[in-house]
Structure 1
Amino acid sequence: MTEDVKLDEQENAAPATEERTPSAIPQDELDRLTDDLIGALKTVYDPEIPVDIYELGLIYKIDVSDDRDVLIDMTLTAPGCPVAGEMPGWVEDAVRSVEGVGDVQVNLLFDPPWDPTRMSDEARVALNMY
């Protein structure tokens, strides 16, 4: 069983809406783990953009299994990003630093392609895109 944390258009973490068996992880612990995972993701930056990857909307999905293994689906601002080979490792390292996390897997996806509408309001302000 995994607990999905899907991200809505404003990049707020929210439990997935599909029906599933309740997680074996107590809800308060799952909430803490989710907050810590998001905090860790916010430490990772694209070197060319002064906004973290979470606020940029590069994180598509976070799955946490009952064993506390974490699966991240993410993208890049462009397939030809110069750090495409390195950024998944940075994300993996950041997520591994969260207390209580088991194995970590990061999948790099390009479908759907990233576009600026996925950025949070915080990212838009930082990039003067209002």
Structure 2
Amino acid sequence: MKQNRVDLPRTFPGHPALDEDGRNALRRLLTAYARHNPSVGYCQAMNFFAGLALTGIMDGYFDGYFSEEMIECQVDQLVLEELVREKFPKLVNHLDYLGVQVACVTGPWSLLPWESAI
């Protein structure tokens, strides 16, 4: 992990997302990957790829999902609930009877599908 510490300050110097907190987050991400896949570990230049990939994914696909308000996630859950109400009225009636909101069942799927965590 020594190479990781050497590379991080050279990762897009001056970029506002890579202030001290951002570099620490990138370091944790790279360390987590190295522990996840010890046969690869950390290789020089992974820092650039990880930084670009993470910001591209988070900003491009999940903008508004992982904020304090989680607005986009709430909107998606409302749309999904309407679709479920339309297509599966018996299921929704049963969930309503049990006092369970559709989002309680579907919310975790939209945040981190299990398949992506494996």
Is the shorter-chain TM-score for this pair beyond 0.5, marking a shared fold?
no
Q: Which has the larger radius of gyration?
A: 2
TM-score relative to the length of structure 2: 0.31
Higher relative contact order (CA 8 A, sep 6+): 1
Tell me the TM-score normalised to structure 1 length: 0.28
Which one has a larger percent strand, Structure 1 or Structure 2? 1
